[in-house]
């Protein structure tokens, strides 16, 4: 009896949560929140989860796409981040959440082409249901999140926002927000700057 009650209550609260999500999008993760793991298809046909990275110390998660000019402006810097930090335990995970009806240029096929043309050394995942983008609270491309892996399955959000202080001109950068955050975490410290905003293209929601 008691068990049935708990079950019913559980189902009801899930329904309520779903309903709330439908009417009002959740604000997503803030600094200090734990990010839930996900499983999304990669351009190589396999699926990728954070838990696949047994030796990772954290992650540089970026919501990005093929089509946004700001995403393109950031692209070479994202590739450079992975080159610099993947071997140190902070790989880049790129996620494309754009709706394909509104933005056909972000299909899996187009993603494969772009990744191979530009030489992506990191996974480039499609978030077809947009559930991961919503969970994170991503609003635009590109939108960066630095996660610190405290333990298996515990991915703490330590930085959100812009890659550096000159999004539209890589030659004019004087502050590297994402690098500084990762460097701090590697030294066992908290990042000094935890949130910085940049311009981006609104995620094309379905």
Token representation of residue 135: 């969970």
Give the Cα separation of 26 and 36 in Å (integer).
14
Q: From the list 18, 22, 119, 169, which residue makes contact with another protein (rule: CB under 8 A)? A: 169
> Considering only residues 114, 143, 149, 156, which one is a binding residue for another protein as defined by CB under 8 A?
143
Least Å from the CB of residue 70 to another protein: 8
Does position 199 interact with another protein (CB under 8 A)? The reply is yes
Choosing from 51, 107, 130, 165, the residue that interacts with another protein (CB under 8 A) is: 165
Q: Which residues, 70 to 129, sit near another protein by CB under 8 A? A: 73
Largest CA distance in the chain: 67
86 CB contacts (<8 Å, ≥6 apart)?
A: 92, 121, 122
162 binds another protein (CB under 8 A): yes
Q: Tell me the window of 51-59, 79-87, 108-116, 160-168 that interacts with another protein (CB under 8 A).
A: 160-168
Among 52, 109, 150, 172, binds another protein (CB under 8 A): 172
Are 141 and 64 spatial neighbours (Cβ–Cβ below 8 Å)?
Answer: yes
Tokens representing residue 45 in the block: 């046909």
Cα–Cα distance, 36 to 157 (Å, whole number): 10
Backbone angles phi, psi at 71, to 5 degrees: -65, -40
CB of 202 to another protein, least distance (A): 4
Kindly write out the interface string for residues 13-52 of this chain, putting x where it contacts another protein by CB under 8 A and - elsewhere.
Answer: ----------------------------------------
Q: Which residue has the tokens 């009417």?
A: 23
Which residues is 21 bridged to in the sheet? Answer: none
Rg (CA), the chain: 18
Kindly tell me which of 58 and 167 has the beta carbon lying closer to another protein: 167
- The binding site for another protein (CB under 8 A) comprises 68-69, 73, 139-140, 143, 161-162, 165-169, 172, 175, 196-203
């Amino acid at each position: 009896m008691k068990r049935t009650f708990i079950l019913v209550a559980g189902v009801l609260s899930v329904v309520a949560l779903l309903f709330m999500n439908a009417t009002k999008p959740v604000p997503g993760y803030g600094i200090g929140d734990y990010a839930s793991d996900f499983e999304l298809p990669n351009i190589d046909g396999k699926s990728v989860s954070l838990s696949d990275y047994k030796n990772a110390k954290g992650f540089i998660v970026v919501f990005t796409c093929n089509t946004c000019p700001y995403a393109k402006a950031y692209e070479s810097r994202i590739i450079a981040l992975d080159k610099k930090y993947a071997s140190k335990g902070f790989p880049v995970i790129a996620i494309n959440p754009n709706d394909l009806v509104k933005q056909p240029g972000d299909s899996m096929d187009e993603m494969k082409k772009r990744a191979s043309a530009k030489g992506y050394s990191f996974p480039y995942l499609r978030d077809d249901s947009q559930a991961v983008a919503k969970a994170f609270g991503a609003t635009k491309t590109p939108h960066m999140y630095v996660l610190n892996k405290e333990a298996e399955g515990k991915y703490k959000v330590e930085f959100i926002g812009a890659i550096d202080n000159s999004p539209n001109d890589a030659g004019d950068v004087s502050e590297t927000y994402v690098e500084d955050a990762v460097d701090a975490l590697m030294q066992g410290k908290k990042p000094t700057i935890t949130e910085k905003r940049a311009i981006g293209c609104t995620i094309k929601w379905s």
